Homo-oligomer: A and B are copies of this chain.
Amino acid sequence: MISDRQNIQVSVAIVGGGLSGMSAAWELYQAGIDSLVVLEANDRIGGRTFNQLHPKIGYVEMGGTWVGRTQTAVLDLARQLGVATKQGKVDGATIYGYQGIWTMHEDNPSESATPAQKDFAQVMAKFEQLSQNVPLDAPWNTPNAETLDSISAGEWIDRNTETIEARAWMAGSIRQGIAGDPHQVSMLFVLYFMANAGFFDLRETAEDYRLVGGSHSLTLKIAEHLGDRVWLNTRVREISHGDRVRLVTKRGVIQADYAIVAMMPKDAGKIHFDPPLPAIHQQLISEWQQMSWIKFFCLYPRPLWWGKAASGHYYSMDTEAEVFDVSPDDGSYGLLIGFFEPKYSNLSEVERRKCAIQTVTDMFGIAGAAPEEYFEIDYTQQSWTSGCVAALPPGLLTQAGAALNEPVGRIYWAGTERSTRWINYMDGAVRSGQHAARQILEQLI
């Protein structure tokens, strides 16, 4: 290992080879900055966009899966890199299951709608309306920001609904959209998320396409261009900063004019900064939640439920699991993916398997009852990525939001969590990486 040590100097060092870090590197490289290095702790690039090979069906996407039609940053990047798109399969409204009954939400419920459906529609309309007042580049300037940030979305919903069902549906919507417990997530953050990423319109705009070859293709293609500028198995454990930036790894010390930290905020907390970061940056990094859902896969010889089910997207309030149909167009096999809440991490894989099959069987009847294969990814048990997507607790956005995109000296920030558009999506990752790269390019020119 010692012989492998390289102390190098570069113009820009990028910490993290996920989609945002690789997008930043690509942006810089295309602008003529070839003195750069991407430092990735894991033994692969891609972060939360990666394929796993599968003997029967080629590969499965373990992370990001869909692209929406207005997600132009990731669509443009795919086009530029020669990654084709195909149609996504989510083509109906979300269907909510509650105590064994499956209901489709309608934005404009008819006169014959139940009181619960009307209640759900009115509270959603309130969310939509409030979210229109959130400035994307400074959500802390929303009217009544302090008040909205002082309460949880769950608390706000409790006050603004009258039926238990509407509360459960709203909680389900927030769980699936934000990946957070409504009582632990700031109301202001939920409104910001809606404004930023069109939450509640999710089915219309975020799942229109999929990427041929999987979402991993994006970073793999960029890596081909960057060659040996990408270092795997290279955890950055310390960053000293001042006139230059000094990044300490087991493979050597990298001296850089600028650094981009392109990680989940929480993961950046594992790096020792010297001197310590300003307080609001520490607060943002440390209090960003880590809501790790478990993604599961049920594989079938055929999509036996086709022609019977009304939608490609289901949410069960009973098992609190979300299910999508991602079978290929030719129906050559059937594949359902789903998400379990973080608390399922405390169960065994055997118990979760049982739960997944129960949910799928509730949805599709006998057609879902016997998957050929069940497998899963638990993001809490990934070594270098602490969680899939995450939300903000009350207070953080107003107190520390200003640190989202503010560099600290020569250290810049990327990661989908910091994007002013499509936060938590692949599109946000691309945008935030490009944004950090452009901030540095302005300094270099």
Contact = CB atoms under 8 A, between A and B. Distances in A.
Contacts of A386: 282, 286
Interface stretch (A122-130, A273-281, A300-308): A273-281
A283 to B, nearest CB: 7
A208 interface: no
Nearest to A288: B286
Nearest to A150: B183
Interface of A: prevailing SS:
mixed
Contacts of A184: 393-395
A237 interface: yes
B151 A183 contact: yes
A346 B280 contact: yes
Interface residues of A, number: 42
Q: What is the oligomeric copy number?
A: 2
Interface string A262-275: 00001001111011
A290 interface: yes
A279 B346 contact: yes
A283 B342 contact: yes
Contacts of A287: 287, 289-290, 393
A184 B392 CA distance: 11
A382 interface: yes
Interface centre among A154, A279, A345, A380 (most CB of B within 10 A): A279
A155 interface: yes
23 contacts: A150-B152, A150-B183, A151-B183, A155-B155, A183-B395, A184-B393, A184-B394, A266-B286, A269-B269, A274-B383, A276-B381, A276-B382, A276-B383, A278-B346, A279-B345, A279-B378, A279-B381, A280-B345, A282-B380, A282-B386, A283-B290, A287-B287, A393-B394
